[in-house]
């Protein structure tokens, strides 16, 4: 990656991180409610019985109530667990939902680990992002976990990134390793941007 692209990514991430930290509690709760409704509709549209989703941090658009509800409805939800080798491991979300602090302070499930290839069996991936542009190019938070996961999948199901409405932008800086997503889920809408890669 060129220094110029790396600098652009760093600057945009810093701006987005600051914007997220300034959101009021009321705005966060409204966003979580909207995300829950949008994800429910997306799962129904795809007839998904097995999905991957992430556990949101306090500044991310909230996914936790959606995960809890999906598990209660019998949907198999795989939650990501970070590993030191840069790959993601996966654990099945449970009703008890034991959560531990993983690498980088991220909330992660404390259950049995299934290995990196477990995600190959899901019908739909729901992943975090800092921003997404109109071509489906995703800007992550710089650690590359999801880009590596998506790049290694033989059969990739639809992949939707969860962002706030203002984080669907005209263009994000990208390099060869960055992976596109199928669409975005915001608190107010779900947009399909690119066909799912098979």
Q: How many domains does the chain have?
A: 1
Structural domain contains residue 49:
yes
Structural domain contains residue 33:
yes
pLDDT digits (tens, 9 = 90+) for 53-73: 999 999 999 999 999 999 999
- Distance (Å, rounded) from C-alpha 178 to C-alpha 180? 7
Q: Domain of 62: which CATH number?
A: 3.40.50.10420
State the residue range of the domain holding 84. 3-192
- Distance (Å, rounded) from C-alpha 154 to C-alpha 81? 20
- Closest by Cα among 5, 8, 6, 26 to 16: 8
pLDDT digits (tens, 9 = 90+) for 3-17: 888 899 999 999 999
- Closest by Cα among 98, 17, 96, 15 to 58: 17
| Residue 139 confidence class, pLDDT cut points 50, 70, 90 | very high
pLDDT at 197: 52
pLDDT at 126: 98
Structural domain contains residue 81:
yes
**Mean pLDDT over residues 72-88, rounded?**
94
């Amino acid at each position: 990656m060129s220094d110029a692209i790396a600098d652009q990514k760093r600057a945009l991430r810093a701006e987005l991180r600051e914007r997220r930290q300034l959101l009021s509690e009321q705005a966060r709760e409204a966003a979580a409610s909207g995300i829950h409704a949008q994800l429910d509709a997306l799962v129904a549209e795809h007839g998904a019985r097995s999905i991957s989703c992430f556990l949101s941090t306090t500044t991310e658009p909230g996914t936790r109530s959606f995960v809890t509800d999906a598990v209660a409805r019998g949907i198999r939800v795989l939650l990501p667990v970070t590993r030191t080798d840069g790959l993601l491991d996966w654990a099945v979300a449970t009703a008890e939902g034991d959560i531990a602090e993983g690498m980088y302070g991220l909330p992660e499930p404390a259950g049995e680990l299934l290995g990196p290839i477990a995600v190959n069996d899901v019908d739909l991936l729901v992943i975090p992002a800092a921003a997404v542009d109109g071509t489906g190019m995703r800007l992550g938070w710089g650690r590359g976990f999801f880009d590596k996961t998506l790049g290694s999948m033989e059969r990739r199901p639809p992949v939707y990134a969860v962002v706030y409405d203002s984080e669907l932008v005209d263009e994000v800086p990208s390099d060869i390793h960055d992976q596109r997503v199928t669409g975005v889920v915001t608190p107010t809408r779900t947009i399909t941007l690119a066909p799912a890669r098979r």
